[in-house]
Amino acid sequence: MIPVGKIPRHIGIIMDGNGRWAQSRGLSRIEGHRQGARRTKDIIKAAINAGVKVLTLYAFSIENWNRPILEVNTLMGLFTHYLQVEIGELVRDHSIVFRVIGDRERLPGKIRDLISGIEVSTAGNEGMTLVPAVSYGGRDEILRAVKKIVKDGVSADNIDEKLFEGLLDTAGLPPVDLVIRTSGEERLSNFLLWQSAYAEFYFADTLWPDFTNDEFLSAIGDFQKRDRRFGEIERGGKI
């Protein structure tokens, strides 16, 4: 049941725990990633049904390139399947907008082409914006934005938050309202560092392949109980 109250516009999820889920069952890490991909599909639909406007999923960090080549290739293969098969269903049934953030230059050419094609074809849709973060790191994103400023010769007097946000991968998207992380870890791990400045956080002990729709909705319900003041004093409070 969808919690009654204000739904966060933008949710970011750090989908952690695939490897540990698999190892605890005597399975390969690759099987953990496969199960995690299945869970991702369910949570995307739960977010759509809840009325979330933007869902950003930390699918593959820039640090993940340092993992064993077999694991990297498996993850790229799962993402390719996702682009070729799963996205079509979400577009057909839910009119989603698709947008990828991260350093695309490191991705295989086939994946880059698939991403570009889907982004163009879904840009005019009216459903939830789905944002996989692939080859992504928050520090890398900020550095790339700074390099654009330097390359364009923008003077210091003309640099403000609005200009800077327009150079980030997430330009045009609302700030993150809620960050969910699974697997019991309690850190951002280089995820949406700028965008999460005033986000609420929900940490779940559950490993990602076991993270249910009900727990996702519980995270939203927990968010609705928070008093978000954005640096201001509590309404009616005294100095």
CATH of the domain at 23: 3.40.1180.10
Residue 118 located in a structural domain: yes
**Prediction pTM value:** 0.93
Rounded to the nearest 10 degrees, the angle between the axes of helix 213-224 and helix 29-50 is: 50
Residue 158 domain flag: no
Q: What is the mean pLDDT of residues 35-61?
A: 97
Question: Side chain identity at 66, as an amino acid letter?
Answer: N
Task: Give 160-197 as a DSSP string.
Answer: -HHHHHTTSTTTTSPPP-EEEE-TT--S-SSSSTTTTT
DSSP of 205-226, one letter per residue? -S-GGG--HHHHHHHHHHHHT-
Q: How many domains does the chain have?
A: 1
Q: What is the pLDDT of residues 118-146, one digit of tens each?
A: 999 999 999 999 999 999 999 999 999 99
Q: Residue 56: inside a domain, yes or no?
A: yes
Q: What residues make up the domain containing 91? A: 10-137+176-224
Identify whether 34 is part of a domain: yes
Q: Which residues have a catalytic role annotated?
A: 16, 64
1 domain residue, yes or no: no
Query: Is residue 97 assigned to a domain?
Result: yes
Higher pLDDT among residues 235 and 39, named by residue: 39
Confidence of residue 228 (pLDDT cuts 50, 70, 90): confident
- Residues 21, 234: Cα–Cα separation, whole Å: 41
Count of Cβ atoms closer than 10 Å to residue 184 Cβ:
13
146-172 residue pLDDT tens: 999 999 999 999 999 999 999 999 999
Confidence tier at 233 by pLDDT (50, 70, 90): low
| Residue 204 belongs to a domain | yes
Q: What is the pLDDT of residue 168?
A: 98
* Residue 152 counted as domain residue: no
* CB count in 10 Å sphere of residue 211: 25
Which of the four pLDDT bands, split at 50, 70 and 90, describes residue 57? very high
Mean pLDDT, residues 106-116: 96
